Amino acid sequence: MTPLDVIWVGLGGGLGSLLRWWIGRLIGERYRSDFPLGTFLINVTGAFAMGYLSVLFMVDWRDRHGTALNSLVLTGVLGGYTTFSSMQLDAAKLAEQRGHVPAGFYLLLSVVVGLLAAALGSGLARAQG
Amino acid sequence: MLNYFIVVFVGGGGGLHSARVYHADVPNLADGFPMDILVANLVATFLLAVVTALHRRQIVSDRTNMLIGTGTMGGLSTFSSFAYGVVVLMSASTASAIVASVYVVTSLALGYVAVVVGLKIGGLSSP
């Protein structure tokens, strides 16, 4: 990892975080419910993009430092855009408001749909490849 | 509005920067278990919960909450690498599919513990 890679990752992470904040706000303004739809949609679309672009860029998923493009887009933008911590916090808030069953359902749904999205993304890229 | 843009951008970039520095020091285990992502996610989840609890008690300002919570901790944790890593492990072999399952369950269970403990330490009773 070179200092330049760190700059790419930081730049991408900033852009991705902004995108997450902006989309989260847009969804939050339009959709009012206890279900954390914003974080859910952000994570699912980010997982799809990660699967698709990883195959497209032909990178091993453990090699997140490879090129400037990998650093900027995969580790940076997508890493900053998607969030694991907010998902867990959303689940805890849901547990406070609605109980443990909806919270567990939200976590399970996020992971299952997220995995399907990542698989779909990489499958699509391979089918095109 | 512009100020918030800068706060989230700087926070997100800083979070990922620390993640990069951290990832360089935590090796992946030989069996393919993505320990670096798990640790980054758990640390970010715990600290996000602490900041959230402090924000609820108005000890932490809106702007600091955005910088650290939305920016840094959201940037440090990642769902996309988590999901894609699991998909790759699942499709590799039976052994790595088992590793992937353990990884998912461990991430969710410990992540939830991190939130509950974080909220408690930040000053709120657990949900």
Chain A residues near residue B41 by CB distance under 8 angstroms: 84-85
What whole-number distance in Å separates Cα of residue A118 and Cα of residue A123?
A: 8
> pLDDT tens-digit profile of B63-112?
999 888 888 888 889 999 999 999 999 988 898 899 999 999 999 999 99
The pLDDT of residue B48 is above 80: yes
Q: Quote the minimal CA–CA distance from B6 to chain A in Å.
A: 9
**A4 close to B (CB below 8 A):** no
Tell me how far the alpha carbon of residue A16 is from its chain's centroid.
9
Nearest to B49 among A17, A89, A122 (CB): A89
pTM of the predicted model as reported, rounded to 2 decimal places:
0.88
Question: In the structure encoding, which two tokens stand for residue B117, read together?
Answer: 């403990």
**A90 close to B (CB below 8 A):** no
CB contact under 8 A, A92 and B49: yes
CB contact under 8 A, B81 and A78: yes
pLDDT at B126: 43
Chain A residues near residue B23 by CB distance under 8 angstroms: 64
Chain B residues near residue A73 by CB distance under 8 angstroms: none
Using alpha carbons, select from A89, A76, A93, A90 the residue that is nearest to residue A18. Answer: A76
**A36 close to B (CB below 8 A):** no
Cβ neighbours for A36, distance < 8 A, ≥ 6 positions apart = A86, A87, A90, A93, A94, A106
Cβ neighbours for A40, distance < 8 A, ≥ 6 positions apart = A87, A106, A109, A110, A113
Chain B residues near residue A79 by CB distance under 8 angstroms: 16, 19, 75, 78, 80-81
Which residue out of A52, A77, A84, A90 would a mutagenesis test of the B interface target, given it has the greatest number of B Cβ atoms within 10 Å?
Answer: A84
What whole-number distance in Å separates Cα of residue B118 and Cα of residue B106?
A: 17
What whole-number distance in Å separates Cα of residue B93 and Cα of residue B91?
A: 6
> pLDDT tens-digit profile of A13-65?
999 999 999 999 999 899 878 789 999 999 999 999 999 998 888 755 555 55
Chain B residues near residue A49 by CB distance under 8 angstroms: 80
Question: In the structure encoding, which two tokens stand for residue B126, read together?
Answer: 């657990």
What whole-number distance in Å separates Cα of residue B95 and Cα of residue B84?
A: 17
Q: State percent of chain A over pLDDT 90.
A: 62
Report ipTM (2 d.p.).
0.89
Question: In the structure encoding, which two tokens stand for residue B9, read together?
Answer: 């951008």
CB contact under 8 A, B45 and A91: no
pLDDT at B127: 47
